[in-house]
Chains A and B, each alone.
Chain A
Amino acid sequence: TGKDQQHDEL
């Protein structure tokens, strides 16, 4: 898990 992580799940 990183800082620029995008949460693509709901």
Chain B
Amino acid sequence: MNIFRLAGDLSHLLAIILLLIKIWKTRSCAGISGKSQILFAVVYISRYLDLVTTFVSVYNTVMKLVFIVSSVATLYMMYVKFKATYDHNHDSFRIEFLLVPCFVLALLIHAAFTPLEILWTFSIYLEAVAILPQLFLVSKTGEAESITSHYLFALGSYRALYLLNWIYRYYAEGHYDLIAIFAGAIQTILYCDFFYLYITKVLKGKKLQLPA
């Protein structure tokens, strides 16, 4: 564990909590892509199956459980409890266009051809692109509420901080995982546009609105 990894994990946790608070307080999931949330739930469940096979640490186990439970809770809020507020019409990204290629890629490029390892690799690839339906929704409506913007910023920062963690681990421990590094870089790049808008608009107190 190093400072970058811890900061990344906390940023990830903050993102998830922000999203749940936003939905709960406003009693609405307007502006949130249910498609992205489905993908994140698939990511956590397929990645953390090793909960039953490998014990790393109490921290590791607790965080994995929190991620799985909170992603399922988010889906429950969106598709059951506050279903009426969910923006079906704008959330029209076809997730099979992400799920299928990620799974095929995991079958082709992986560290080991075992069920758990293939699912882990699939989850890494899928996580890299899971935010696309959300970004697509923001681009369709042309704006995002400030708390949604904070959520996206925290979620994007997490993988950027992990990139620093991987650089640190490479030098400090000689440890590296090319699959995670490559997918993490793609994931971070996808947020760059958003980071720019966040810093130039949201931090100056303006609403995140896309240029027409």
Interface residues of A (CB under 8 A from B): 1-3, 5-10
A3 neighbours in B (Cβ, 8 Å): 111-112
Total number of A-B contacts with CB less than 8 angstroms?
Answer: 30
B145 neighbours in A (Cβ, 8 Å): none
Are A1 and B54 closer than 8 Å at their CB atoms? no
Smallest Cβ distance from B118 to chain A, in angstroms? Answer: 13
Q: Please, which residue of chain B has its CB at the minimum distance from the CB of A4?
A: B112
B87 neighbours in A (Cβ, 8 Å): none
CA of A1 to CA of B112 in the docked complex: distance in angstroms? 9
Are B179 and A1 closer than 8 Å at their CB atoms? yes
B100 in the interface, Cβ–Cβ < 8 Å?
A: no
B56 in the interface, Cβ–Cβ < 8 Å?
A: yes
CA of A4 to CA of B177 in the docked complex: distance in angstroms? 13
A10 neighbours in B (Cβ, 8 Å): 9, 12, 60, 63-64, 67
Q: How large is the interface on B (under 10, 10 to 19, 20 to 34, 35 or more residues)?
A: 20 to 34
Within 8 A of A (CB), among B47-105: 47, 50, 54, 56-57, 60, 63-64, 67
B197 in the interface, Cβ–Cβ < 8 Å?
A: no
Are A5 and B111 closer than 8 Å at their CB atoms? yes
A-B contact pairs, 6 of them (CB 8 A): A1-B176, A1-B177, A2-B112, A6-B54, A8-B60, A9-B5
B5 neighbours in A (Cβ, 8 Å): 9
Q: Please, which residue of chain B has its CB at the minimum distance from the CB of A2?
A: B111
Max chain B Cβ within 10 angstroms of own Cβ: one of A3, A6, A7: A7
B60 neighbours in A (Cβ, 8 Å): 8, 10
A5 neighbours in B (Cβ, 8 Å): 111-112, 177
B178 neighbours in A (Cβ, 8 Å): 1
Smallest Cβ distance from A5 to chain B, in angstroms? Answer: 6
B40 in the interface, Cβ–Cβ < 8 Å?
A: no
Are A7 and B112 closer than 8 Å at their CB atoms? no
Apart from A1-B179, A5-B112, A10-B9: 16 A-B pairs, beta carbons within 8 A: A1-B176, A1-B178, A2-B111, A2-B112, A3-B112, A5-B177, A6-B54, A7-B47, A7-B50, A8-B56, A8-B57, A9-B162, A9-B165, A9-B180, A10-B63, A10-B67
